[in-house]
Amino acid sequence: MTLTSLLESHKLIICVGSGGVGKTTTAAAIGLKAAKQGRKVLVLTIDPARRLANSLGLNQFGNQETQIQLDGSIPGELWAMMLDTQSTFDGLIERVSPDEETKDRIFNNRVYRHISESFGGSQEYMATEQLYEVVSSNKYDLVVLDTPPVKNALDFLESPGRLVQFLDKRILTWFLSPQEEKRVFGRFFRGTSAVVFRLLGSIFGREFLDELSEFLYIFRDLYDGFRERHEAVIRLFEQPTTTFAVVCAPNEPSVAVAGYFLNELKGRGMPCAGVLVNQMHPTLGEPLDPASLLEEDARRLASDLDENTVNQFLARLGVNHRRLLGLSQSEQAMTGQLHPLLNTEQTMWQIPRLEGEVHDIEALGQIFDHVKEVHRK
């Protein structure tokens, strides 16, 4: 599939991959390309927003949808937004709380404050939460999500599960007695449960268990709301207009992670358009001789320079080029390892490295200028 038709036919593109592979820049470049195709696009990123702001030529932007100024000739619109875990979490509580009192009790609960701040995976969960909001608002033709750099797994797919699991009714009933409303830990347990419970108390401290039980007690009524949201998000991922795109760089660790993602997505039955390999070093694939190709011109242009310059320079170019060639060959070999993992409908887009770093719209717009499509042989 061409990138153009990929951006034309989807409403949600989720970029996944390990850190440091240019995922944020790629997400921004996808957004810009889609805007050039006339679509109204939102690029959603997770902290640090600096990365996306950098590649859009901005200093910073916040957790509000911000329109990026584009050249007048571009028919579409490009918007960007950062996800703020804490405020998204708070917003979610506000939405699912039945009344003011419940809401305030949650906000004041110490366990909640810590969970929303440092819950493993809360960032990822909130990413999907915010994603659901903007996609279902139908304000955009296309939403591009830049996921947090997790190398281990598709955490953001699992975390909603974990949070919902936390609020699962069976667990709540295990912790909370039906007769009494709170501070009931352990009292009604028999046998194994009672022993285990006392031990949990001795590990975590009674006080914490009490606070946790209050937290769970208040959260009891929010469970359905959370579960519905989670299911809606999963449904969103399964839409035919949604697709995942694995982003990687042509180095060993990154290609290994990309392979892992391809398999994971396949295993979960999630749609995946293919792999974008960033920052490839393009070459003609042959050793070149600087002397025969450049010496004449170099001599002519170096008449006012130190006499050793030309020889030194040509020798250096030879070394530089051998290094480039070596790099390019090993990159081709490494990305080739991904071919067997792709199915016939998936594409590998090889994106040549640009000269210089990308931190303005103009450079961002050039990223896909020379993209090469590779299909499974």
Partner 1 sequence: MKLKEFSDRRLLMLTGKGGTGKTRVAAALGLANGETGKRVLVVEVDSQRSALAEAFGQPLGYEPTQINANVWAANITFQPALKDWLDQTIRASRIVSLILKNPMVQVFLDVTPGAREIVVLSRIVSYLDDFDQVIVDLPASGHAVGLLKIPDTANRLMRTGPIHDRSGEILAELRGPDTALGIVALPEEMVVNETVELYGQLGTVLPDLDVPIVFLNRCAAPTMTDDEHKLLARLSQHSSLGKEAMELLLAGRWDAELERATADSLGRLHSEIGVTVVPFPRLGVLGGFPGGPMKVTQQMAGALRRRTLLEAKKGKEA
Ranges within 220-279 binding partner 1 (CB under 8 A): 249, 251-254, 256-257, 260
For residue 220, how many other CB atoms are within 10 A of its CB? 17
Selected binder of partner 1 within 74, 324, 363, 371 (CB under 8 A): 324
Nearer to partner 1, 105 or 162 (CB): 162
Is residue 162 near partner 1 by the rule CB under 8 A? yes
- For residue 140, the minimal CB distance to partner 1 (Å) is 26
Is residue 117 near partner 1 by the rule CB under 8 A? yes
Strands across the sheet containing 142-146: 66-68, 77-83, 40-46, 142-146, 12-16, 242-248, 272-280, 347-352, 372-375
Is residue 284 near partner 1 by the rule CB under 8 A? yes
Is residue 108 near partner 1 by the rule CB under 8 A? no
Cis bond upstream, residue 340 (ω within 30): no
Strand partners of residue 243: 13
Is residue 172 near partner 1 by the rule CB under 8 A? no
For residue 167, how many other CB atoms are within 10 A of its CB? 18
Nearer to partner 1, 140 or 197 (CB): 197
Is residue 151 near partner 1 by the rule CB under 8 A? yes
Distance CA 348, CA 335 (A): 9
60, 50 in Cβ contact below 8 A?
yes
Is residue 18 near partner 1 by the rule CB under 8 A? yes
| Beta strand spans in the chain (E) | 12-16, 40-46, 66-68, 77-83, 142-146, 242-248, 272-280, 347-352, 372-375
- For residue 78, the minimal CB distance to partner 1 (Å) is 20
Is residue 111 near partner 1 by the rule CB under 8 A? yes
- For residue 137, the minimal CB distance to partner 1 (Å) is 27
Nearer to partner 1, 1 or 294 (CB): 294
What's at 137, amino acid-wise? S
Nearer to partner 1, 296 or 345 (CB): 296
Q: Binding marks (x or -) toward partner 1, 183..212, rule CB under 8 A?
A: ---------xx-xx--xxxxxxxxxx---x
Tokens at residue 264, please? 């994971």
Selected binder of partner 1 within 136, 137, 312, 343 (CB under 8 A): 312
| Residues from 28 through 67 that contact partner 1 (CB under 8 A) | 47-48, 50-51, 54
Bridge-based pairing of strands 12-16 and 242-248 is: parallel
| Residues from 330 through 369 that contact partner 1 (CB under 8 A) | 330, 333, 355-357, 359
Spatial CA neighbour of 142 closest among 61, 219, 76: 76
What percent of the chain is helix, strand and coil (3-state, nearest 5)?
55, 15, 30
Is residue 329 near partner 1 by the rule CB under 8 A? yes
